[in-house]
Amino acid sequence: MSYRNDKISITDFGGVGDGKTLNTKAFREAIYRIEHLRRRGGSLLYIPPGEFLTGPFNLTSRMTLFLARGAVIKATTDVGQWPLVAPLPSYGRGRERPGGRYMSFILGNGLHDVIITGENGTIDGQGSVWWDMWRQRTLGFTRPNLIEFMNSRGIIISNVIFKNSPFWNIHPVYCSHVVIRYVTILAPADSPNTDGIDPDSSSNICIEDSFISTGDDLVAVKSGWDEYGIAFGRPSHSITIRRVTGSSPFAGIAVGSETSGGVVGVLAEHITLYNMGIGIHLKTNIGRGGVVRNITVSNVYMENARTGIKISGDVGDHPDEYYNRNALPVLKDVVIKNVWGERVQQPGLIRGLWNAPFTAICLSNIHLGGARPWQCSHVVGAAVQVSPSPCAQLTSRPQIGACSSSF
């Protein structure tokens, strides 16, 4: 982490931590000061103990947002305080609704050398008002993320608690060299689409030593949506996920389903999952296009899961009717090894596409129990030391194809 000689406090700009006073002006003025004074080595914005209510705000380069123990940055529930921003070009529209989307609560665009850290202070999205609009189908536009970095590099997020995001929690998109570690991400199990961390068309990402318990995928690697993601053409690559623990009614470690720019080179290891919908989920769909390859998941323990491993080519919706039905995804060179599970109802489902089968799917040393058999279609690969016995499409001869070097 960069050391910042220049330190300012939100209280220097009129910030009041009573949980009632709206501090949007204080945050914006403090960050304006950091941006325009350009102190050598950057500046640290200190958030002392207290509840600092605010509308959404932008960060700037060469700054540290530091939350003291007992500090809470709390999002306003007044929807009128949230500006609309343009949709991401790789999505073509808001992820939930056509048109734009609400600005993320804390946003950085085109930045470098930014740190969000502290003494396990809290960033609280107060998402329930947004979840209710989603349930009641009264959303006009796509809900805001809690934290989003776009077109940025050199980002560190550590030692902060994130809770009750309106939508996705941490979303690095079009970014490189991002480290997310020692974070806690919390949302109720029934909160809609509260993904934990979603690297999206980004590279050189490290996610480690964190606890995530939310209403959707804990970590989901993405790269754009159907024809817009294909045209934008920016893959996610070189992503490491390790020593993550959590629970969710959806997936623990996921790729997709928005994979249109491609996802290459993902390593997830030493993952501990409890009370899961799906432990490991690689998902794509017709119209996505994109190549998903070189995915390795190892040393996973899961307990009380509906499905252990799922690799599927029929997941996710489309932005509009103009997606290319001939844009078939390619999914290959996947290694899943050293996986143990208890109370797993369905050990595995692998469903490729008849005209784009999944190839070189390599399973090794996987013990998930469960009374149901594996279900497979349109897949080629190998399996060694897998119980219950995998489907016939996965041969027990690892020398076949690209699996020979994986065992």
Active site residues: 216
Going by C-alpha positions, the residue among 154, 8, 148, 133 that lies closest to residue 77 is 133
Kindly state the tokens that stand for 87: 């949709």
Give dist(CA 385, CA 402) in Å, integer. Answer: 18
Give dist(CA 193, CA 213) in Å, integer. Answer: 12
Q: Could you give the 3-state DSSP secondary structure of residue 207?
A: strand
Compute the 3-state secondary structure of the chain and give helix, strand, coil in percent, each to the nearest 5: 10, 50, 40
Tell me how far the alpha carbon of residue 296 is from its chain's centroid: 17
Give dist(CA 270, CA 243) in Å, integer. Answer: 5
Identity at 267, one-letter amino acid code: L
96 φψ region: left (φ > 0), alpha (ψ -120 to 50), beta (else)? alpha
Alpha-carbon Rg for the chain in angstroms: 21
Q: Could you give the 3-state DSSP secondary structure of residue 304?
A: strand
CB atoms within 10 A of CB 20: 8
Q: Which positions ≥6 away from 407 have C-beta within 8 Å? A: 362, 364, 382, 384, 398
- The β-bridge partners of 395 are 382
94 φψ region: left (φ > 0), alpha (ψ -120 to 50), beta (else)? beta
Give dist(CA 102, CA 80) in Å, integer. Answer: 10
Name the helix (H) or strand (E) containing 69: none
Q: Could you give the 3-state DSSP secondary structure of residue 228?
A: helix
What b/e string do you get for 153-180 counting C-beta neighbours within 10 Å, with b at 16 or more?
A: bbbbbbbbbbbbbbbbbbbbbbbbbbbb
CB atoms within 10 A of CB 3: 8
Q: Could you give the 3-state DSSP secondary structure of residue 231?
A: helix
